[in-house]
Amino acid sequence: MSAVEEQRPIGYGRLKRKEDARFIRGQGTYVDDVQLPGMLHGAILRSPVAHARIASIDTSAALAHPKVHAVITGRDLEAQGLSWMPTLSADVQAVLATDKVRFQGQEVAFVIADDRYSARDALELIDVDYDTLPAVVNARKALDPDAPVIRDDLEGKTDNHIFDWESGDRAATDAVFARADVVVSQEMLYPRVHPAPMETCGAVADYDRVSGKLTLWSTTQAPHAHRTLYALVAGLPEHKIRVISPDIGGGFGNKVGIYPGYVCAVVGSIVTGKPIKWVEDRSENLMATSFARDYVMRGSIAATSEGRILGVQVDVIADHGAFNTTAQPTRYPAGFFHVFTGSYDLEAAHCSVRGVYTNKAPGGVAYACSFRITEAVYLVERMVDMLARELDADPAELRLRNFIRPEQFPYACRTGWVYDSGDYERTMRKALAIAGYDELRREQVERRARGELMGIGVGFFTEAVGAGPRRHMDILGLGMADGAELRVHPTGKAQLGISVQTQGQGHETTFAQIVAEELGIPPEDIEVVHGDTDNTPFGLGTYGSRSTPVSGAATAVVARKVREKARIVAGAMLEVAPEDLAWERGRWFVRGDPEQGATIQEIAMAAHGSLELPEGVEGGLDSETVYNPPNLTFPFGAYLCVVDVDPGTAAVRVRRFVAVDDCGTRINPIIIEGQVHGGLTDGVGMALMELIAFDEDGNCLGGSLMDYLIPTALEVPDWETDFTVTPSPHHPIGAKGIGESATVGSPPTIVNAVVDALAPYGVRHMDMPCTPSRVWEAMQGNAKPPQ
């Protein structure tokens, strides 16, 4: 490939992102940039306490504020049957509280005023009388007999239990544990963290009383799914709802669900007849929108004395907060946690997951977790490391010894997944070579002799992404297939309509490159349209690393349909049978006479022109498709981290991080590297500093960016990234998802490094975040889960 093609490829390659031209000029259009004539502004009154009965709400003083137009409470919504709404997990969630508040920050009233300032001022004029109740904060205690019942709104509910779910074979797992030489067990907490996208959540609702049409600009990763849900929730006909997801400043799962604020904006617009803007502030985002993780995991791993892993068993208490609002395929209440056997060829495995309510914000799967794969990978990678310590084996060698081997693919794992492709050893060896692993271990010995604390963390992950086959996967009955629609204009320029919505992933570039690769049209000649339900085909949205596996496949398929249509038209143009034509990038030509041919641009003009087409062939080249993935894709990677811990202050510095990712076919390496860099940075954040903490009364202690820390460039090393390519055999272009790989793979690798550094102190495990204080406590033999 020439240097020019390298920079401006027609097809795959290092193309600069098309969307960056507007972003780097500050010319993006986010929800908060939407200004409509007569628009009013909403603000939400939130509960100051975690659990309380609402004795009364007095809104009269707020209504008397000269700039206030309306104050909506749960009672007002009740009249319209909207005080509760269904969640994505077969539960209900209060839009505005009527009976009780169940977490600090819960929505209680919605004020509509001339401007944001007045709306906020008026919140302080609402008088709510709360009768405080005891709060349940610790998931381990949620099912204690004396725990207060949070969800007494649910008929007959007498405890805080949500669900029990299991996967794998308990008896077979018990049997391998019984005959194992070595068993290692550990309870570990994957703490509650938050996606904290740069742009908070918000909406502008504009209900037209004449046409009955609602236009809703909102921060959504799934505009089509939202449209259908609004139709089901609000009773508006679906064709009278247009959801527009404009530029989105980061999602990470935070913008998958429907929040009460969106519904309030819609109701507010219907009530006032004016457009209503509601955009939450940073504290609201951190305190009330979808958090991630909060999994208490008790894991065990069994092995022979030679280091052959036999089985893994894990029991989980899943803290879902006050309402079960997690977003995941319906049949999987614990998401894809049952991929916890990881990258290893085991004899047996079993997990049980128990979901519980607590007086904490609802949510659960957000933050680039691939539906709980983050938790699963953390568990197995920590367990394997602990096993290595127990066996006095090298953690890299132990992994190499137990990997699923290339010839075993497609590999049916013990919990039912069929891994599509992989060559784990090759990827692992590449990472070890880049890191100079043996040299690092020698350096570690020398440093330890000097009293220095250097740690080397090894991690390997396999993800299951691209949900998913509609036979197995739906969200509220909506199958997880994606449409794509490709229009080719007479001059050969094209417009691709996709259902998935970028929040920074670079869809406008990547998807144009897929069409370019298939049709030979330059990417700059392809406009990618997305984020507007009136102009794009139906699909389930961007999350769980599903855009390339599902919509990327749909795009390749629809481009191939156009190509086949072009073949028929080219046959008519060249007066040969279509079967006698051959394709080279961007052109059909006559087999045996390559001079005779037509470019896709020429064909497009002919298809719209006066050319006589064969009987039954319609003009134009436009095509559409719906892609139902036959399986998930299984990206994987080998990560290696070097940390230094200051023995005096216990501060952790990440010195090096090597990431070798395999996401199959690589469409745009710049974008892939960007995804990996971002995910690794997320991982440093989770491993070292991020935590949504609560006090025992349920007060959120992470409600601002002063309290909830996000890493900066100064906490991260220069990333050393590389890759291998193992295409997916079932994906049309062999691509796998990459959006969450690094977020999944990096936290256990960093914790493995920290624990390795602390080995001289006898530390076997410590929970995240590895703050200086918590590391020091681990060094004193006093490692505790965070509060």
Partner 1 sequence: MQVPSPFEYERATSVEHALELLARLGPDARLLAGGHSLLPMMKLRLASPEYLIDIDPLAGELGYVREQDGEVRIGAMTRHRELLESELLARRVAIFTDAERVIADPVVRNRGTIGGALCQADPAEDLSAVCAAADARVVVRGRDGERVLDMRAFHRGAYETAVEDGEMVTEIRVPLHPGAGSAYEKVERRVGDWAVVAAGAAVRLSDGTIEHAAIALAAVGGDVTSPAAAEALAGRPPSEELFAEAAGIAAAGCSPVTDQRGSAEYKRHVAAELTLRALRRATARALREES
E strands, 67-144, in order: 68-73, 84-86, 92-94, 100-101, 107-113, 127-132
- Residue 693 touching partner 1 (CB under 8 A): yes
- Binders in 709-738 for partner 1, by CB under 8 A: 709, 711-712, 714-715
CB closer to partner 1, 473 vs 700: 700
Residues forming a β-bridge with 457: 641
CB closer to partner 1, 435 vs 700: 700
- Residue 698 touching partner 1 (CB under 8 A): no
With residues binned 3-state (H G I as helix, E B as strand, rest as coil), the percentages for the chain, rounded to 5, are 30, 25, 45
Q: At its nearest, how many Å lie between partner 1 and the CB of residue 202? A: 10
Residues 421, 138: Cα–Cα separation, whole Å: 40
The answer to whether the Cα torsion of 43, 48, 50, 54 is positive or negative is: negative
State residue 716 phi and psi, 5-degree precision. Answer: -115, 150
H or E element that contains 598: strand 593-599
Binding mask 58-97 for partner 1 (x = CB under 8 A): ----------------------------------------
CB closer to partner 1, 607 vs 654: 654
**Which stretch in 164-172, 279-287, 365-373, 389-397 sits in contact with partner 1 by CB under 8 A?**
279-287
The only residue of 345, 707, 720, 722 in contact with partner 1, by rule CB under 8 A: 707
CB closer to partner 1, 484 vs 684: 684
CB closer to partner 1, 32 vs 390: 32
Query: 10 Å Cβ neighbour count for 664?
Result: 26
Specify the 3-state DSSP secondary structure of 608: helix
- Residue 117 touching partner 1 (CB under 8 A): yes
CB closer to partner 1, 287 vs 559: 287
- Binders in 97-116 for partner 1, by CB under 8 A: 116
Q: At its nearest, how many Å lie between partner 1 and the CB of residue 769? A: 8
- Residue 121 touching partner 1 (CB under 8 A): yes
CA 563 to chain centre: 33
Asked whether the beta carbons of 238 and 322 are under 8 A apart, the reply is no
Q: At its nearest, how many Å lie between partner 1 and the CB of residue 212? A: 32
- Residue 648 touching partner 1 (CB under 8 A): yes
Q: At its nearest, how many Å lie between partner 1 and the CB of residue 330? A: 36
- Residue 697 touching partner 1 (CB under 8 A): no
Residues forming a β-bridge with 297: 188, 316
Instruction: Supply the Cα-derived Rg of the chain in whole angstroms.
Output: 27
Q: At its nearest, how many Å lie between partner 1 and the CB of residue 774? A: 8
- Residue 655 touching partner 1 (CB under 8 A): no
- Residue 773 touching partner 1 (CB under 8 A): yes
Judged by CB under 8 A, how many residues of this single chain contact partner 1?
A: 33
Residues 226, 257: Cα–Cα separation, whole Å: 8
Query: 10 Å Cβ neighbour count for 127?
Result: 12
CB closer to partner 1, 330 vs 699: 699
The only residue of 169, 187, 281, 722 in contact with partner 1, by rule CB under 8 A: 281
The only residue of 120, 242, 426, 764 in contact with partner 1, by rule CB under 8 A: 120
- Residue 219 touching partner 1 (CB under 8 A): no
CA 610 to chain centre: 48
Residues 113, 276: Cα–Cα separation, whole Å: 9
The only residue of 79, 171, 178, 706 in contact with partner 1, by rule CB under 8 A: 706
Residues 202, 573: Cα–Cα separation, whole Å: 52
The only residue of 23, 64, 704, 760 in contact with partner 1, by rule CB under 8 A: 704
- Residue 279 touching partner 1 (CB under 8 A): yes
How many residues would you count in the chain? 787
- Residue 582 touching partner 1 (CB under 8 A): no
**Which stretch in 73-81, 98-106, 244-252, 696-704 sits in contact with partner 1 by CB under 8 A?**
696-704
The only residue of 149, 538, 777, 785 in contact with partner 1, by rule CB under 8 A: 777
CB closer to partner 1, 490 vs 772: 772
Q: Which residues contact 303 (CB under 8 A, 6 or more apart)?
A: 180, 181, 182, 183, 309, 310, 387, 391
CB closer to partner 1, 159 vs 715: 715
Q: At its nearest, how many Å lie between partner 1 and the CB of residue 701? A: 6
**Which stretch in 327-335, 439-447, 483-491, 707-715 sits in contact with partner 1 by CB under 8 A?**
707-715
Asked whether the beta carbons of 694 and 272 are under 8 A apart, the reply is no
Q: At its nearest, how many Å lie between partner 1 and the CB of residue 114? A: 13
CB closer to partner 1, 150 vs 691: 691
DSSP assignments along 334-373, one per residue: TTTGGGTTTTB--SEEEEEEEEE--SS--EEBTTT-TTTH
For 89, 103, 318, the CA distances from 365, given in Å and listed in that order, are 11, 18, 11
H or E element that contains 673: helix 669-688
**Which stretch in 141-149, 501-509, 589-597, 648-656 sits in contact with partner 1 by CB under 8 A?**
648-656
The only residue of 128, 650, 687, 763 in contact with partner 1, by rule CB under 8 A: 650
CB closer to partner 1, 413 vs 778: 778
Residues 502, 222: Cα–Cα separation, whole Å: 10
The only residue of 476, 651, 670, 759 in contact with partner 1, by rule CB under 8 A: 651
CB closer to partner 1, 37 vs 648: 648
- Residue 476 touching partner 1 (CB under 8 A): no
- Residue 425 touching partner 1 (CB under 8 A): no
DSSP assignments along 455-503, one per residue: EEEEEEEE--BS---TTT-EETTEE--EEEEEEE-TTS-EEEEES---S
- Binders in 9-38 for partner 1, by CB under 8 A: 32
State residue 390 phi and psi, 5-degree precision. Answer: -60, -40
Q: Which amino acid makes up residue 404?
A: I
CB closer to partner 1, 282 vs 560: 282
DSSP assignments along 408-446, one per residue: G-SEE-TTS-EE----HHHHHHHHHHHHTHHHHHHHHHH
Q: Which residues contact 233 (CB under 8 A, 6 or more apart)?
A: 82, 85, 86, 258, 263
Q: Which residues contact 718 (CB under 8 A, 6 or more apart)?
A: none
State residue 597 phi and psi, 5-degree precision. Answer: -165, 175
H or E element that contains 661: strand 652-662
Residues 403, 342: Cα–Cα separation, whole Å: 9
- Residue 776 touching partner 1 (CB under 8 A): yes
CB closer to partner 1, 716 vs 759: 716
**Which stretch in 141-149, 387-395, 580-588, 644-652 sits in contact with partner 1 by CB under 8 A?**
644-652
Specify the 3-state DSSP secondary structure of 259: coil
Asked whether the beta carbons of 491 and 605 are under 8 A apart, the reply is yes
CB closer to partner 1, 345 vs 715: 715
CB closer to partner 1, 408 vs 773: 773
- Residue 778 touching partner 1 (CB under 8 A): no
The only residue of 649, 696, 725, 760 in contact with partner 1, by rule CB under 8 A: 649
Q: At its nearest, how many Å lie between partner 1 and the CB of residue 149? A: 30
The only residue of 75, 161, 213, 282 in contact with partner 1, by rule CB under 8 A: 282
Q: Please report, as ranges, the residues that interact with partner 1 according to CB under 8 A.
A: 32, 116-117, 120-121, 279, 281-283, 648-651, 688-689, 691, 693, 701-702, 704, 706-707, 709, 711-712, 714-715, 771-774, 776-777
